[in-house]
Structure 1
């Protein structure tokens, strides 16, 4: 059990972060309603923005109950969704090609892989034709569809596209581009990597939470507060990046983006001293 201070402070921060996020969400409306989108493009971006917003709220709810390691996994999803959104809208000259890769090519490859996994499952059950397995059978492609996708995207092409659109590939591409709006995205790489350990339940991921809970109360509480503040800050930073990149792409007045940044910064000021308090306990000056 954690102290009352931990529960009260993390819940207050998470609630304030959630209210701020909901206050700022309508500022994204000009991007969603931009008349320059073709219907499929509008749907793709709406899906991506909705997924990022939904996972952001879920992560904040987990922080409110001090479930920080589980929140890390959702923040990882928010980070990746934001990265893909920013990559899609990085420039008008390559938007259509990137949209095709993300919304069509990778979608088809996903269907192909889902078919293989569904077929593997049906191959090991004793009654694959039974009604109970119909939801799985519905994931199977027809022979024609399977051949069409396999011919269109060979194994090397599938690997190349998935690597390009993976976190490391996208981070590398944005870093090399010199884009001023996304240059700080590489800072999310460490948290993303740590969340990967937790997500995949490797020996590092499964030991993190236990090791922390075995620390002294002072050490544990200081890092819990610093960790909570960082998760909330990352969520809001991702929102601001999506907003800024979206406004730049549609060439909209940037004042709402500046105003959103000011509100986020004002909220961050409530975290003042949390990081230094943790550093002073965990890494005291000699």
Structure 2
């Protein structure tokens, strides 16, 4: 088991690394084929998703698939937002980059201010040096007005909804693009991983249920779970690269060329998935 997971994690890390290397020229600040502001925002989100993907694969290697799944959920959301960001004409994409990088963080800064102010009003020693980090979050009314930039509560709510995972996937479901429509179905996996993040009864129950199985079932389910995480990490990496290349007017065939070099990895991941299905649903499959 350890050898298999280590091999999968190592090969997939190289795969997403090749995808990242292919993307680097279009993320570099010297690249002139994209609006500089859009390129900057695009690069930050692309890089962050890649780094988190690496973290997820490290956890798979260490047999920590449940924690890897939670990080993968973050990568899923980041990838969906990346596709959304880089979809549309140049002016539309620049507007979305501004919303993502400036407007939404500005609204968050106001919420941080409100929470910090509420906390400092409750403690008996608000001037104590240990609360300096909270004081750093406080804003003047002038700063708050500037961050709101003339928007009202409804405007802010609509923009935040626009950038939510559920709204973006809903938008994709209504798209004329078959590829984007398929992405809308990621909502199921996103919701299942939410149980793990929130430590609700469903999430804790999934972990508990697995450890109650016999050794053969545990092994099949664990490998199937890890295979899905690794496969997802690779798929999200391909998707971000595809969207970047397409936006830059570049051919995307290079993604298939990279993928072919890792046929063995994807074959093994597929076998693990099929084995899980056989162990989990064998009787039903025979019907």
Compute the RMSD of aligned alpha carbons.
1.8
Pair 1:172–1:262, CA change in 2 (3 A): farther
SS at match of 1:71: helix
Q: Which residue of 1 aligns with 2:137?
A: 139
Aligned pairs for 1:30-179 (under 5 A) are 30-33=25-28, 34-93=31-90, 94-150=92-148, 152-179=150-177
Equivalent residues of 1:75, 1:235 under 8 A apart: yes
Note if 1:223 corresponds to 2:218: no
TM-score, length-normalised on structure 2?
A: 0.91
Question: Normalization by structure 1: what TM-score?
Answer: 0.91
Contact 1:56 1:78 (8 Å CA) reproduced: yes
1:210 equivalent in alignment to 2:208: yes
Partner of 2:22: 27
Match of 1:108, SS?
helix
Shift of 1:265: 4.7
Cα distance in 1, alignment partners of residues 173 and 189 from structure 2: 17
Distance 1:265 1:84 in 2: 28
Structure 2: gaps of 5 or more residues: none
Q: CA deviation at 1:261?
A: 3.5
Partner residue in 2 for 1:3: none
| 249-258 vs 50-59, greater mean Cα deviation | 249-258
Q: Is the 8 A contact 2:242 2:255 kept in 1?
A: yes
SS of residue paired to 1:273: helix
| Secondary structure at the counterpart of residue 248 of structure 1 | helix
Tell me which moved more, 95-104 or 203-212.
Answer: 95-104
Q: CA deviation at 1:273?
A: 2.2
Q: Identify the residue that residue 279 of structure 2 maps to in structure 1.
A: 281
CA pair 233-151 structure 1, distance change in 2 beyond 3 A: same
After the TM superposition, which of the residue ranges 55-64 and 268-277 deviates more from structure 2? 268-277
Unaligned stretches of 5+ residues in structure 1: 1-5
Higher mean Cα deviation, 93-102 or 228-237?
Answer: 93-102
